[in-house]
Structure 1
Amino acid sequence: MVHSVKRPKGKCKKRRGEEPAGPTVHSVKRPKGNLRRIESTDALKDEIVIPKGTLVTCVAGVEMQPEDVGAAIQFLEFCRSFGEIFQIRKGQSEKIVKDITGDRQLREVSSVVAELHANLLSVMENGNYKPLKYPKHGDTWIRKLSKYITDSTLHAKDFILDCLSHGLSGYKNLSPSHKLDVLNSLCDEALSSEKLRTRIEAREGVARQKIRAATEKEKELKERQNDMAKTMGGEIAGNEEANNIFCQIKEAKEVKQAAMNELEERGCVLRSTPVMVDKGVAYWKLDGYCDNNTNILRQEFDKEATMKNQDKWFMFSEDEQKVVENHVTTRSQRPWRKDNRV
């Protein structure tokens, strides 16, 4: 006699040691709204050939080894944002890069290189910028630099510390890559100084005050301009007082824009991040390092590399940059997106 078995509702149960009596199905909640499929970025990646670009060997008019380009850009970006605080004059940062990456057989270290190192040390030790003068043949700043690195949390190879401990002759034996590493480490350390950060924030506060004052002045002048136009029936062209007000409005706008640019430049450097990162590749948007109207640089790096300055940088032609920009935009898209069309 065959007995019928009532099938349980819901999930199929199983006894210990047995396989499930049937397939277990997990329901997936369907998102609201009409969805339409877009191609995956991997599929699009196969269709788009990303140009590699041209290897960068010249930065700010200075010829250098490809492995030194990244460190040079880092230093120049530091000078671009904080040069005023450290009293780095126009063209001085390029000269420093040229002197550091130039001929190692020079008998002396240029005064501009020595002074910047000494002034950075002054900021870190005393919390303020105090211009110091060092003789070209002196090595006091180098020995002071060696002691600071030894006593601080800065990480430096024993080889670098050993060279610095020998003063001028030891510093000249360092490769351009090592010299740039030391300089960039000092720049980063100086920016982390609490007193310097306070000074930077104070400068930002001054810029914001300029923006507020210029905005208020512009508003007041425009009100005067409107009142004058009403009084004169709208005919204010050629009126001397009206022209004077117009010039003051223009000046207020220029002051406000300059202060806004200053805030933006400082903020961009402090928050500088690549526009896209892929496996061993990063794309940066930086102005002033390409030979044409492009501003995107490709950085190739090895995460497993144990030595610094092993990355290489590439620039693009205008046509190549358009392809790269399209690739970056495509990668930022999501696999699914909501379609609100009716």
Structure 2
Amino acid sequence: MDFAASCKNQKDDKACSFRFCYKCLLNRYGEKAEEMELLGDWKCPKCRGICNCSFCMKRRGHQPTGILAHTAKATGFSSVSEMLQVQGPESISVSPRKLPSTKVLDLKEGFPESVLYELMHGCGRRRGQYSSIVQFRNQLLGLIQQETGQKSLLTTTTDNGDSWAQGLCKCMFDSHYALKEFPFDCFDIHGEGYKKLDTTKKLRLLNFLCDEALGTENLRSWIDEQNSKVIERRKKAKEKVLAAKEKERGMKRKMQNKIAKAILLKNGAPLQFPSMRILF
């Protein structure tokens, strides 16, 4: 049987009927049921509008967070409530909204898997139909050509034409890293030689283009910008954690003072808990 703290809040001339067991109160809100029971004006989390049960979260327009007691402790928070205050409810739960596309190359969620699947199993498409490999290859070549001031002609997601083959040949010629394992005729008109390459060599070509694209100013600037944003977010999150912990310490001091006053009113006699309520 677990000890439960009763809410002292009066609503519409009626006392709140909610009682919180010591485990829920401690793990989810960082409060001790025995100490809360001593306070004559203690309001339960529901009356304070901070209840993080699934029902209350939905009523406030948030997604249910699920069981987060272990997650909160593992990340340095004293309770689930403190973690939600710092990180926000939407950052914890899985949002049904669409994920934003990745910048620079504008790659959608699941696109890398689509490229690898097509490499392994083929596209199985008719001529002129969409190909994720062709799109990715042309995007990388376009980024590289933009770096060198060339006008990219790669505006299609199909293999029609030989502009991509010409662009790839020039990219390989200008690169500091030679790809000796590829035959000279693998990038002929319409890329017929390319189609004869095995999966490993096609993947090797994509890796080569990725390495070359990583050296472009556009991609490097974007990476540096993202790193700066991550550092700034971590800094702000750390400041929020410190502020939340300081606030919690202040609340604990205030609570301890109230408990000390209650003990003094009893002339130093030990406090008793006449009403032990059980939460079923």
Decide which structure has greater strand share.
Answer: 1
Q: Which structure is higher in RCO with an 8 Å CA cutoff and minimum separation 6? A: 1
Decide which structure has greater helix share.
Answer: 2
Name the TM tier (shorter chain).
0.3 to 0.5
